[in-house]
Amino acid sequence: MIQINDHYLKLQASYLFSDIAKKVAAFQENNPDKDVIKLGIGDVTNPLPAACIKAFHAAVDEMATTSGFHGYGPEQGYEFLRKAIADHDFQARGAEVAADEIFVSDGAKCDTGNIQEIFSTACRIAIPDPVYPVYLDTNVMAGRTGEYSDGRYQGIVYLDSTRENNFVPELPNESVDLIYLCFPNNPTGSTATKEQLKVWVDYARAHKALILFDAAYEAFIRDETLPHSIYEIEGAREVAIEFRSYSKSAGFTGTRCAYTVVPKECVAYDAAGNAHSLHALWNRRHCTKFNGVSYPVQKAAEAVYSEEGKAQCKALIDGYLENAKIIGAAMTELGFTYVGGDNSPYIWVWGDRDSWDFFDLLLNKAGVVCTPGAGFGKCGQGYIRISAFNSRENVEKAMERIRTALS
């Protein structure tokens, strides 16, 4: 008898985005003359930077020639891209990362989901609440979380992100082995200082633990004092793996390119306590299960680091950050408190009411779609996430409607 992986039965079906879609569809049916403005889903809306498009086209043309054709590339990514990443994203900021420590992939979602398979299923996992759901669900699938009851998995150590800690979780009281952190954060938009990250790096070193650091939103950082990479923290090379993506930084959500950094010093232990290189393990896993990102996509990603590419990406992100400012100003004007938006495309608003009630209010009174915070975890109750990923015109129109409806 063929049997399923019954850990899958523990997954809490996420009805979040389908529930939102149903509510939006019902609203539109009852109000056929009203258009709905979507500030809910975390997907970019602007086209790819011109420098990326140019490189993308040129690479496609190369593929049409015998001399320029590329078959299977190196699983870890082409040297031209790995070198550009090491130079521009790390060395330029004083973070020590070498090209051969970079693993190019087709997404940070897959990487953050796949990485856990190189660790024991007995690991104690610490996961923030609220959270990007991938970290949690992939550990459920692997059987690390225990049963779900009273809104939480009993085997997970939740790291509460609340107003009290300014949405940067404190160290857990118990010992954990694997720690997920994401800054600038999705969904809260909060950031962590070097001092705050140092606390986690020191904990990981003292406990022989490992940090999985998701920096998918680092390009939104405008505060010069904030770290873009965990490797800007002393000692992090021994205890941290970092995930990056071109999805939000260069509009690659539909083009697909990302990378994972596994420093050579990073180790994990076998049952006898012997240290093993995580670089070697991840390299083995990556080469066995992945055949590389397409050549044209890697050429398009490389163009992000050209002078034009850098300027165009900055302009793209500045546009979203300006949207975030407009959203934040409207929230303040209406008397709401919020975090995020200044180094992040997300604004996390305290509604002082049930998340879904707040969602319904904005949809029914203003025709604006946000995301109820409760969908990201228990600590998200009472909040909504508003995304800055939309056109200036739509964001201004949405805020005007919310102002009229609520003031």
Ligand X SMILES: *Cc1c(COP(=O)(O)O)cnc(C)c1O
Stretch that binds ligand X, among 27-35, 57-65, 105-113, 309-317 (CB under 6 A): 105-113
Are 390 and 374 a contacting pair, CB within 8 Å? no
- DSSP, collapsed to helix, strand or coil, labels residue 16 as helix
Angle at 368 between CA 249 and CA 401, to 5 degrees: 110
CB-wise, 186 or 190, nearer to ligand X? 186
Of 46-85, which residues contact ligand X (CB under 6 A)? none
User: What track of x and - describes contact with ligand X for positions 148 through 187 (by CB under 6 A)?
Assistant: ----------------------------------x---x-
DSSP annotation of 394 reads: H
Compare residues 42 and 367 and give the one whose CB is closer to ligand X. Answer: 42
> Which residue in the set 78, 103, 132, 213 belongs to the binding site for ligand X (CB under 6 A)?
132
Q: Where are the beta strands (DSSP E) in 90-209?
A: 102-105, 125-129, 148-149, 152-153, 157-160, 178-182
Residue nearest to ligand X (CB): 107
Min CB(14)–ligand X separation in Å: 15
Asked whether position 258 contacts ligand X by CB under 6 A, the answer is yes
Tokens of 166: 């300014």
Closest approach, Cβ 43 to ligand X, in A, equals 8
**Count of beta carbons in the 10 Å neighbourhood of residue 233:** 24
The distance of closest approach from Cβ of residue 11 to ligand X in the complex, given in angstroms and rounded to an integer, is 19
- The C-alpha atoms of residue 5 and residue 143 are separated, in whole angstroms, by 9
Is 351 near ligand X (CB under 6 A)?
A: no
Task: Choose, by CB under 6 A, the member of 177, 214, 218, 242 that binds ligand X.
Answer: 214
| Inter-residue contact 182 to 191 (CB < 8 Å) | no
- Pick from 82, 144, 237, 248 the residue near ligand X by CB under 6 A: 248
**Residue showing tokens 């496609």:** 60
| Structure token pair of residue 336 | 């709401």
- Half-sphere exposure for 403 (CA within 13 Å, toward CB): 13
190 touches ligand X (CB under 6 A): no
> Could you tell me the smallest distance in angstroms from the CB atom of residue 213 to ligand X?
11
Q: Which helix (H) or strand (E) holds 85?
A: helix 79-85
Q: Is 242 in the site for ligand X (CB under 6 A)?
A: no
Number of other CB atoms surrounding residue 67 within 10 Å: 5
| Cα→Cα distances 62→58, 68, 381, Å | 6, 5, 52
Does the N-terminal peptide bond of residue 187 adopt cis geometry, omega within 30 degrees of 0?
Answer: yes
Determine if 216 is a binding residue for ligand X (CB under 6 A). Answer: yes
Give yes or no for residue 312 binding ligand X (CB under 6 A): no
**Residue 266 touching ligand X (CB under 6 A):** no
For the bound state, the minimum distance from the C-beta of residue 252 to ligand X, rounded and expressed in Å, comes to 7
109 binds ligand X per the rule CB under 6 A: yes
| Residues 388 and 319: beta-carbon distance below 8 Å | no
Task: Give me the least distance between CB of 66 and ligand X, in Å please.
Answer: 33
CB 382 within 8 A of CB 355: yes
C-beta of 112: minimal distance to ligand X in Å? 6
Q: How far is the CB of 121 from ligand X (least distance, A)?
A: 23
Binding to ligand X (CB under 6 A) within 21-50 occurs at 42
Specify burial of residue 64 (Cβ count, 10 A radius: 0-12, 13-18, 19+).
exposed
Task: State how far the Cα of 176 lies from the Cα of 247, in Å rounded to an integer.
Answer: 30
Stretch that binds ligand X, among 61-69, 102-110, 197-205, 318-326 (CB under 6 A): 102-110
- Choices 104-112, 227-235, 350-358, 388-396 (CB under 6 A): range interacting with ligand X: 104-112
What totals of helices (H) and strands (E) does the chain contain, helices first? 12, 17
Instruction: Single out the residue of 46, 162, 193, 253 in contact with ligand X (rule: CB under 6 A).
Output: 253
CB 76, min distance to ligand X, A: 17
| Closer residue to ligand X (CB): 247 or 367 | 247
Q: Footprint of ligand X on this chain (CB under 6 A)?
A: 42, 107-109, 132, 182, 186, 214, 216, 245, 247-248, 253, 258
